[in-house]
Amino acid sequence: MWLFLAFLAVPLIEITLFIQIGGAIGLWPTLLVVILTAILGTYLVRTQGLMAIGKLQSSFSQLQDPTEPLAHGAMILFAGALLLTPGFFTDGLGFALCVPMIRSQVFQNLRKKIKVQSFSMGGAGAGQTQHHQPYDPNVIDGDFEEVETDTSEPSGPSGWTKH
């Protein structure tokens, strides 16, 4: 029901704003404002998106919960779609989502409404637990298997050389 109301209300709001603002400043200035907000919005979304990717990579490398950086990235992506949509109402919402403090507030409100049952990181199988140590760039994590070598003398040519 809410989605239907949004699809009905947003175009009506946009048409009303176009008529009001176009009547106040004229056709060409109105179109110029719409084009400039799309260009400015593209720049803002790009810079904010790169910062969000950096925070997401940082949370992965430090084995922290990536929920908030992922949510910020999704909101920035949504802001980009809003800013590229012609209109003043959608531009206002898009610019608002480009502000990190507003995104944090939206995230906190969503977090109150969404309950996560479980969260785990790593590739542990069912029933296994992994204990993560703090990230140390000097440590290389890996698995190994000892291979016993045959130390006896070969009985004939190796095949690699012609004897």
- 76: number of Cβ within 10 Å: 24
Domain assignment present for residue 9? The answer is: no
What is the domain count for the chain? Answer: 1
Residue 137 pLDDT exceeds 60? yes
Whether residue 119 is contained in a domain is answered as no
- What's the rounded Cα separation, in Å, for the pair 83 and 35? 10
Are the beta carbons of 49 and 79 closer than 8 angstroms?
no
**Does residue 73 lie in a domain region?**
yes
Q: What are phi and psi of 41, to 5 degrees?
A: -65, -40
What pLDDT, on a 0 to 100 scale, did the predictor assign at position 19? Answer: 92
Model-wide pTM > 0.95: no
Q: Which domain holds residue 80?
A: 31-113
pLDDT at 136: 72
Q: Model confidence over 45-60: pLDDT tens digits?
A: 899 889 989 988 888 8
